[in-house]
């Protein structure tokens, strides 16, 4: 039986040159690799991000595709992109879900594992 499965890895990066700590603006980039580890092609058609600031503020961002694309990823292939967010605190977390459809017209979701955004450490890290 064909399977739909995507593996998601995220590498966060603090951007001090774009941030303004005095104004409460901490800018982060995140670099995402989506790999199709299943046996059928899958298209990422939307995403839901949960952004959590250390102050307790929670944001939910929904939208079509990723960075303007709705990539069709064949088995064994991957799609990479970079994006970013601004936190009002020097630390926070992000996680989410990709909304997908297989080339057999089956809808499914792929979890984006939680990762830490941390302007205070020398290296950001992924949780999972």
CA-CA distances (angstroms) from residue 47 to 3, 32, 55, 73, 108?
21, 13, 24, 15, 12
pLDDT surpasses 90 at 121: no
Report the topology of domain 6-120. Answer: Immunoglobulin-like (2.60.40)
CA-CA distances (angstroms) from residue 95 to 10, 50, 86, 111, 116?
10, 5, 15, 8, 9
pLDDT surpasses 70 at 128: no
pLDDT given at position 3: 85
> What pTM, to 2 d.p., does this model score?
0.91
pLDDT given at position 119: 96
pLDDT surpasses 60 at 122: no
pLDDT surpasses 70 at 126: no
DSSP tag of 71: -
Confidence bin at 61 (pLDDT 50/70/90): very high
For the four alpha carbons of 34, 13, 59 and 94, in that order, the dihedral sign comes to positive
Domain residue spans of the chain: 6-120
Concatenate the DSSP letters of all residues of 9-46 into one string.
EEEEEE-GGG-BGGGTBEEEEEEEEEEE-SSS-EEEEE
């Amino acid at each position: 039986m064909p399977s739909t499965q995507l593996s998601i890895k995220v590498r966060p990066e603090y951007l001090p040159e774009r941030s303004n700590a005095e104004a409460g603006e901490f800018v982060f980039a995140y670099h995402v690799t989506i790999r199709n580890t299943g046996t059928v092609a899958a298209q990422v058609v939307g995403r839901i991000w949960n952004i959590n600031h250390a102050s307790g503020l929670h944001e939910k961002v929904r939208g079509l595709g990723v960075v303007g694309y709705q990539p069709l990823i064949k088995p064994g292939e991957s799609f990479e992109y970079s994006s970013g967010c601004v936190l009002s605190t020097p630390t926070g977390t992000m996680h989410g879900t990709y909304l997908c459809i297989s080339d057999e017209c089956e809808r499914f979701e792929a979890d984006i594992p939680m990762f830490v955004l941390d302007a205070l450490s020398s290296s950001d890290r992924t949780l999972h």
